[in-house]
Amino acid sequence: MKEVLWCFMYIKEKTLGENYMEAYKLWRDRNPMTRLNIDAKAVLNQKNYILRAKRITDVEIDGIIGNIRLKIGDETRLHKRSEW
């Protein structure tokens, strides 16, 4: 459940938009052998269920967002360094 939310929130933070196909691609890249028969729409439905049913606490969601912001910050710093 956390992995699904992480992928959707990462795409949202990175692009400032919600693109479920990009989130699915990221999820599939991170989980190439997990649930091979699941498609993008099913992952979107899973994310919606997790949030609607409150299967993950607000504290856990805040932790996911913090982790993503750290990762994006690290990627930005590495990218800027490579431009020097």
Neighbours of 47 (CB within 10 A): 21
Asked whether residue 82 carries a pLDDT value surpassing 50, the answer given is no
Asked whether residue 75 carries a pLDDT value surpassing 90, the answer given is no
> Given this model, what pLDDT does residue 25 score?
97
Record the pTM.
0.81
Tell me the pLDDT tens digit for each residue of 18-39.
899 999 999 999 999 999 999 9
Choose between 72 and 54: higher pLDDT: 54
> Given this model, what pLDDT does residue 83 score?
46
